Structure 1
Amino acid sequence: MKDAVVIIPTYNEIENIESIIRTVFSLDNDIHILIVDDNSPDLTGLKVKELQKDYQDRLHLETRKQKSGLGTAYIYGFKWCLKRYYQYIFEMDADFSHNPNDLERLYNACHVEGADLAIGSRYIGNKINVVNWDIKRVLLSYFASRYVRFITRMPIADTTAGYVCYKRHVLESIELDKIKFVGYAFQIEMKFKSYLRKFKIVEVPVIFTDRTKGESKLSGGIISEAIFGVITMKIKSLFGKK
C-alpha cells in the first residue's frame, strides 16, 4: 500500500494503541500511521512516542491541546496528510472495531478498481455485519443510515461508517474548514460532499466488532447532531451549497 497513511484519532486509548499500531504495520511495509491524540490523560500519546523508536519515519504523532471532537481530529489529520505526498488517506478507529485486515481491500477498491472513496460498509445487501452490539444500538445505527439515505438520496447503505479510504484529490476538492459537524455526523457530511461532487463511491463489506477494551465515545449529543444536522445539510445543498 504505497503512498498510503492511516489516520487514527485517539483519546484515552492506552489499552489499544500499541496493539493497533503493531498490527497495522505487520500487514504492510509501506503504509504509514498518523495518530492524532487529544492530549489523552491516560498518556496514549506518550506510548506512541515510545513506539516511534521502532517505526521511524512511518509512525507519526500530532498532539492537540484538548478533546475537540472526532470530526476536527480528522480535519486536522487530513490537512497534515495533504501537506505531504500521501495519495490514499484512511480513517480508522483505534479500538479494533475496524479490522486492520480490511485496509488492503479498501486500498484496492481505490488503487485498482478506480474508486475515489471506498467505504467499509456494515450494511450491504440488507445484512447487518456487527458483532457485540446490543440490539438497541444495532437498530439505532442501521435506521440512522436508512434515514440519512432517505433525506440525502445518497446511494450509500452505510452513511455513518467511519472506516474509509479517500483518494487525495477528493480531500483537496472539499473545503475542509467549512465542515460543520464534529461528531459522527462528520462522517455523513464528508460522504455527502463527495457525493455532490460526483466522485465514484464504492462500499466494501466489512464486519464491525465493538470494542472490548476502553470506553465508547458515543453520546446522545452526537446522535442528535447526526439526526437533525442532516436536514439542514440537505436544504443547503438544494441552494447549491456544496
Structure 2
Amino acid sequence: MSSDTPFTCDSDPGTDTGPDPDAGHRGLVILPTYNEIESIADIVSAVLARDRRLSVLVVDDASPDGTGALVDSIAATEPRVHALHREGKAGLGSAYVAGFRWALERDFDWIFEMDADGSHDPRYLPDMIAASADFDVVVGSRYTAGVNVINWPMSRLLLSYYANKYARFVTGLRLADSTSGFKCFGRRVLEAIDLDAVESTGYTFQIEMNFRAWKKGFTLGEVPIVFTDRVAGQSKMSGAIVREAVWRVWALRLRSLLGRL
C-alpha cells in the first residue's frame, strides 16, 4: 500500500454476539516493522475491525521506506493506533520486549504478537481471545491440524516443521508450533517473566517466551491458523537466525536445569 492511500477501518465489524464476560478487557496487537509500508495500513485496519477492544502498537525500527511516518499519520486520526519509534534495526525479540513493556505500563489485558506483512490473518484474533479464557498463552499454530502453510518453498516449510520438532525434543515444550509469531499473552504472564533476561533476538525469541512461560507454570494452548507467506516486502529470515535457534534451545534447557532461567 502506498503512503498516500487513505486509511479506513470498518466501524461495525459485526463480531458482537451478545453480552461478553470479557467486555471490560482490552487487547494490544504489537506489530514490529521494518520496511512494511506496502502492507501496514491494511493490516492495522483489519485488526481494528475485528474487535473494538483491540488497539495496535507499531514498533518501527526507523524504516527507511517511511513505514513509521505512515503509522504516525494513521495514529493522528485513529486513537486506537500507536507508534513506538526506535533508532535502528535491533531485532525482532527486542522489538517485542519494548512492545510488552509499553502494553504493561498501560494495563492491557491481552498482548498479541503478530507479523505486519500479511502472513498472519487478523480473522483469527477472536479465536485467540476466546481461547485465552482457558490458556495463559495462546499460539496461532500452523501445525495442529496438518500443515497449514501457503506459498512457502518446500525447503522453508521443511526447515520450519523440523525446527519445531527439534525444539520440542530439546525443551519438552508441548506445542506443535513453538516458533509461531502469532500469539496472545495474558498480562500476568508477561508480568511474571523477567523481560530483561530474555536474550533471543531472532525467531528463537518465540521458543524462549513459550519456554519461560511454561516453566513459570502458565498454561499454553494452540489455535489452528492458516499461514500465508508475506504478500509484500522481503523475508527477514537468515542463516544467523537459524544458527541461533540451533544452540539457543540447548542453552534454555541447561539454564532451566540449573535453576537460572
Coarse TM-score class (shorter-chain normalised): over 0.9
TM, length-normalised to structure 2: 0.89
Which of residues 126, 133, 141 is equivalent to 1:121? 141
Q: Secondary structure at the match of 1:34?
A: strand
Between the aligned partners of 1:102 and 1:52, the Cα distance in structure 2 is: 24
Give the corresponding residue for 2:116: 94
Q: Give the 5 Å matches for 1:219-230.
A: 219-230=238-249
Q: Which runs of 5+ in 2 are unaligned?
A: 1-22
Q: State how far apart, in whole Å, the 1-side matches of 2:192 and 2:182 are.
A: 20
How far does residue 212 in structure 1 lie from its aligned partner after superposition?
1.6
Deviation at 1:198, TM superposition (A): 1.6
Give, in angstroms, the shift of residue 141 of structure 1. 0.2
Match of 1:20 in 2: 43
Deviations 1:144-176 (A, max 9, x none): 000000001111110101000000000000000
Q: Matches of 1:99 and 1:122 in 2, distance apart?
A: 12
**Residue 62 of structure 1 corresponds to which residue in structure 2?**
84
CA distance in 1, matches of 2:186, 2:245: 25
Confirm whether residue 158 of structure 1 aligns to residue 181 of structure 2.
no
Secondary structure (helix, strand or coil) at the match of 1:158 reads coil
- Distance (Å, rounded) in 2 between the aligned partners of 1:143 and 1:77: 29
1:95 to partner: Cα distance: 0.9
For the residues of structure 1 that align with 2:42 and 2:233, how far apart are their CA atoms?
13
Q: How many residues align?
A: 238
Please list, as runs of the form range in 1=range in 2, the aligned pairs for 1:165-180 lying within 5 A after superposition: 165-180=184-199
Q: Identify which of structures 1 and 2 has the higher relative contact order when contacts are C-alpha pairs closer than 8 Å and 6+ apart.
A: 1
Cα deviations across residues 195-226 of structure 1 (Å, max 9, x unaligned)? Answer: 11121110100000001211111111011101
2:205 matched to 1:186? yes
Q: 2:99 aligns with which of 41, 60, 77?
A: 77
1:124 match: secondary structure:
coil
SS at match of 2:214: helix
Q: What percent of counterpart residues are identical?
A: 45
Counterparts of 2:219 and 2:254, CA distance in 1: 23
Residue 65 of structure 1: how far off its partner (Å): 0.1
Aligned residue for 2:13? none
* TM-score normalised over the length of structure 1: 0.96
Instruction: Indicate whether 1:4 and 2:24 are aligned.
Output: no
User: Which residue among 142, 148, 151 is the counterpart of 1:132?
Assistant: 151
CA drift of 1:54 comes to: 2.8
**RMSD across aligned C-alpha pairs, in angstroms?**
1.0
The answer for the alignment partner of 1:232 in structure 2 is 251
Measured in 2, the distance between the counterparts of 1:161 and 1:30 equals: 23
